[in-house]
């Protein structure tokens, strides 16, 4: 027993001496201003807590020397940012004092970030907007973001390009690629992006525009997994974006909406919830349906006086009143919730002929009128239900499960006819008559053209693609395979999704056509139902036997990019 105690004591003593040696070496490097070597020493620490502790000390000394970029780079090298760091919890005053003297104590992130900001020339630090602005002076000189006044050769286009790049955080990759330039296949690292967002949060700064629009990607084509570099990458075409007339952020050339960071985060939270279904429903109120039935009963057998049709229809709409909106599976006070409801409601407007579709596509009401003219028997008030759901042919994958390709248009419309019960309740029939089904089929067939004419449908498809990807991450356990800690995205106290007024009600969509002097009416309900679990099920995955997808995986790795780079072409 005595021998065992001695062995244990010796082991503890050796570990303490080893830690002391590392701390002494770190302090010597910091005192000598050898920050690159100090950072390498810190990154070489096996124990995560000690590694972060050393990196915090390096960042503090870099900040004290006015090297903001270096300090933020050291913070960015940390494996993760624990909850106490996100909440700006501080260490003891003794720890802070030791770190200020160069000791490798636990970093006090609150004071450290303040130090980074306070030790930089105020003119080059913009709290509100992040990156600094060029401060021009006569004679071809400027002040960079670190407050350094330098001469500028205005005839040197390469130098101008570097300066331009330096002024826009997130707009340029490490190799000078402009995020606003067209790319047939842009890559975004979800792991690196999360780390950069955490760093911005620590500085009290919001996500940059490039981050909010995922580097301008407007269609996700691939999901690429790199366990060796601990990364998950999404890839797709991208380019310059701007706001359209309705304020929606779209790709400048194709007018397709960009894929949104907020949507990604919301759908990750949904995928990892207990019930990963989401969508919305637009539902008539039972008492209003009773009022509508009574209104029509009172008008039965009576001919509508010429010129009074609109007045009669106005009374009918008043009887129908508003329909209730319910959003489920995601936060109702988000842009994502608004997108679901807006797309569904707009689809009903096209179906009722109140908004034009695309050339060659009839509305339901037009089809109804044509059918009534053929038979001579107008249909009574009909309650229809159309809703959006997934439409993926399959999910292609490599045999090792490290690359996935999304196949299919993503979105389709289904239909059902409903009956109105004695109490005004809607009774599903489980069936869809030919005309109701015809519109659903035509809408699905023309979905791509409709998306080009009405960007809200492109936004809906992006939501469906993201729902598929986030469920894939969960079902295939991709985050565990690359050691990705998702807490910052999954925790509502981590990344903060922008809030909006929640949709709660819409005006009823009801339309009419006059056939043979009689009025043909139709009302509609519906919604969006999205459950991506079926799409990522094993029997729906098709494995690539030609090696094409594997080649895409190998050709799009992040290689040896600096840690701060989160997108590349």
Looking at the DSSP bridge assignments, the partners of residue 505 are 324
Instruction: Indicate if 51 and 96 belong to the same structural domain.
Output: yes
* Residue 387 binned pLDDT confidence (cut-offs 50, 70, 90): very high
Q: Say if 96 falls within a structural domain.
A: yes
66's CB contacts (< 8 A; 6+ apart) are: 119, 120, 146, 147
* Residue 81 binned pLDDT confidence (cut-offs 50, 70, 90): low
As for how many domains the chain has, the answer is: 3
- From residue 113, alpha-carbon distances to 197, 205, 288, 386 in Å are 14, 11, 58, 52
Instruction: Indicate if 44 and 59 belong to the same structural domain.
Output: yes
The 10 Å Cβ neighbour count of residue 171 is 17
Q: Say if 202 falls within a structural domain.
A: no
Q: pTM of the predicted model, to two decimals? A: 0.73
Higher-scoring residue by pLDDT: 148, 532? 532
pLDDT, tens digit, 9 for 90 and up, residues 432-482: 788 889 999 999 999 999 999 999 999 999 999 999 999 999 999 999 999
Q: Tell me the Ramachandran region of residue 247: left when phi exceeds 0, alpha when psi lies from -120 to 50, beta otherwise.
A: left
What DSSP letter does each residue of 321-344 carry, written as one string? -EEEEEEESS-TTSHHHHHHHHHH
pLDDT at 530: 79
Q: Say if 541 falls within a structural domain.
A: no
pLDDT, tens digit, 9 for 90 and up, residues 533-553: 888 887 778 887 677 788 888
**Strands 394-397 and 541-543, bridge-based pairing:** parallel
Instruction: Indicate if 310 and 419 belong to the same structural domain.
Output: yes
2's CB contacts (< 8 A; 6+ apart) are: none
The 10 Å Cβ neighbour count of residue 564 is 18
Q: Say if 513 falls within a structural domain.
A: yes
Of 25-34, 130-139, 217-226, 312-321, the range with the highest mean pLDDT is 217-226
Look at 159-163, 291-295, 369-373, 514-518 and tell me which has the smallest mean pLDDT: 159-163
**Helices 68-76 and 48-64: crossing angle, nearest 10°?**
170
Measured distance CA(470)–CA(266) in Å, rounded: 10
pLDDT at 312: 80
Q: How far is CA 479 from the centre of its chain?
A: 17
Instruction: Indicate if 151 and 25 belong to the same structural domain.
Output: no
Q: Say if 245 falls within a structural domain.
A: no
**Strands 231-238 and 183-189, bridge-based pairing:** antiparallel
**Strands 278-284 and 322-328, bridge-based pairing:** antiparallel
Domain limits at 60? 20-120
Instruction: Indicate if 366 and 294 belong to the same structural domain.
Output: yes
* DSSP secondary structure code for residue 217 in this structure: B
Residues in the chain: 569
Look at 104-108, 139-143, 231-235 and tell me which has the smallest mean pLDDT: 139-143
Taking 90 as the threshold, does the pLDDT of residue 134 lie above it?
A: no
Measured distance CA(280)–CA(526) in Å, rounded: 8
Q: Where are the alpha helices (DSSP H) in 65-177?
A: 68-76, 83-86, 93-100, 109-118, 157-166
pLDDT, tens digit, 9 for 90 and up, residues 487-510: 999 999 999 999 988 888 888 887
- The mean pLDDT of 549-567, rounded to a whole number, is 79
Instruction: Indicate if 442 and 321 belong to the same structural domain.
Output: yes
Taking 60 as the threshold, does the pLDDT of residue 407 lie above it?
A: yes
Instruction: Indicate if 115 and 126 belong to the same structural domain.
Output: no
What DSSP letter does each residue of 280-298 carry, written as one string? EEEEE-HHHHHHHHHHHHH
Measured distance CA(62)–CA(172) in Å, rounded: 24
Strand order in the sheet with 231-238: 541-543, 394-397, 403-407, 222-226, 231-238, 183-189, 567-568
End position of a domain, from candidates 120, 153, 183: 120
Taking 90 as the threshold, does the pLDDT of residue 305 lie above it?
A: no
- From residue 400, alpha-carbon distances to 59, 96, 547 in Å are 39, 47, 12
Measured distance CA(59)–CA(4) in Å, rounded: 41
Measured distance CA(10)–CA(69) in Å, rounded: 42
Look at 62-66, 190-194, 344-348, 544-548 and tell me which has the smallest mean pLDDT: 544-548
Would you state the structure tokens that stand for residue 401, as one six-digit string?
């499960």
Instruction: Indicate if 150 and 289 belong to the same structural domain.
Output: no
Measured distance CA(114)–CA(118) in Å, rounded: 6
Taking 50 as the threshold, does the pLDDT of residue 138 lie above it?
A: no
Higher-scoring residue by pLDDT: 303, 137? 303
Q: Tokens 């809607």 label which residue?
A: 426
């Amino acid at each position: 027993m005595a021998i065992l105690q001695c062995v244990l004591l010796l082991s503890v003593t050796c570990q303490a001496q080893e830690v002391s040696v590392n701390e002494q070496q770190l302090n010597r490097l910091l005192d000598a201003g050898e920050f690159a070597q100090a950072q390498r020493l810190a990154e070489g620490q096996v124990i995560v807590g000690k590694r972060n502790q050393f990196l915090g000390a390096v960042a503090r000394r870099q900040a004290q020397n006015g090297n903001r970029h270096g300090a933020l780079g050291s913070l960015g090298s940390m494996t993760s940012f624990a909850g106490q760091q996100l909440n700006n919890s501080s260490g003891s005053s003794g720890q802070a004092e030791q770190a200020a003297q160069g000791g490798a104590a636990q970093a006090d992130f609150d004071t450290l970030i303040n130090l980074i900001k306070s030790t930089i020339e105020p003119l080059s630090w913009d709290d509100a907007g992040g990156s600094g602005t060029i401060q021009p002076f006569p004679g071809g000189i400027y002040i960079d973001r670190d407050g350094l006044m330098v001469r500028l050769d205005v005839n040197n286009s390469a130098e101008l390009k570097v300066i331009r790049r330096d002024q826009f955080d997130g707009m340029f990759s490490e190799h000078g690629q402009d995020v606003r330039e067209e790319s047939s296949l842009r890559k975004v690292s979800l792991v690196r992006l999360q780390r950069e967002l955490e760093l911005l949060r620590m500085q009290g700064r919001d996500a940059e525009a490039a981050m909010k629009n995922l580097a301008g990607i407007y269609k996700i084509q691939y999901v690429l997994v790199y366990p060796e570099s601990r990364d998950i990458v999404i890839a797709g075409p991208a380019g310059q974006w701007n706001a359209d007339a309705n304020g929606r952020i779209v790709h400048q050339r194709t007018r397709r909406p960009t894929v949104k960071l907020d949507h990604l985060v919301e759908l990750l939270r949904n995928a990892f919830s207990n019930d990963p279904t989401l969508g919305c429903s637009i539902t008539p109120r039972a008492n209003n349906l009773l009022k509508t039935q009574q209104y029509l009963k009172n008008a039965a057998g009576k001919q509508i006086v010429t010129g009074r049709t609109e007045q009669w229809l106005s009374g009918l709409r008043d009887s129908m009143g508003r329909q209730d909106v319910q959003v489920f599976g995601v936060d109702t006070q988000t842009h994502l919730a608004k997108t679901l409801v807006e797309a569904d409601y707009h689809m009903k407007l096209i179906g009722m002929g109140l908004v034009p579709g695309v050339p060659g596509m009839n509305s339901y009401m037009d089809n109804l009128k044509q059918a009534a003219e053929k038979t001579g028997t107008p249909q009574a008030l009909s309650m229809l239900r159309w809703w959006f759901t997934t439409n993926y042919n399959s999910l292609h994958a490599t045999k090792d499960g490290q690359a996935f390709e999304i196949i299919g248009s993503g979105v389709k419309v289904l239909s059902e006819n409903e009956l109105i019960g004695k109490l005004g309740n809607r009774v599903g029939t489980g069936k869809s008559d030919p005309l109701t089904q015809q519109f659903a089929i035509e809408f699905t067939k023309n979905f791509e053209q409709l998306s080009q004419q009405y960007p809200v449908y492109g936004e809906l498809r992006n939501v469906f693609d993201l729902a598929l990807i986030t469920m894939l991450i969960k079902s295939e356990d991709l985050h565990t395979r690359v050691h990705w800690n998702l807490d910052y995205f999954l925790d509502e106290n981590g990344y903060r999704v922008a809030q909006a007024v929640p949709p709660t009600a819409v005006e009823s969509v009801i339309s009419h056509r006059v056939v043979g002097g009689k009025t043909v009416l139709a009302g509609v309900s519906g919604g969006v139902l999205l459950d991506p679990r079926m799409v990522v099920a094993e029997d729906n995955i098709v494995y690539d036997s030609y090696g094409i997808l594997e080649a895409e995986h190998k050709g799009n790795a992040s290689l040896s990019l600096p840690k701060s780079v989160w997108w590349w072409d």
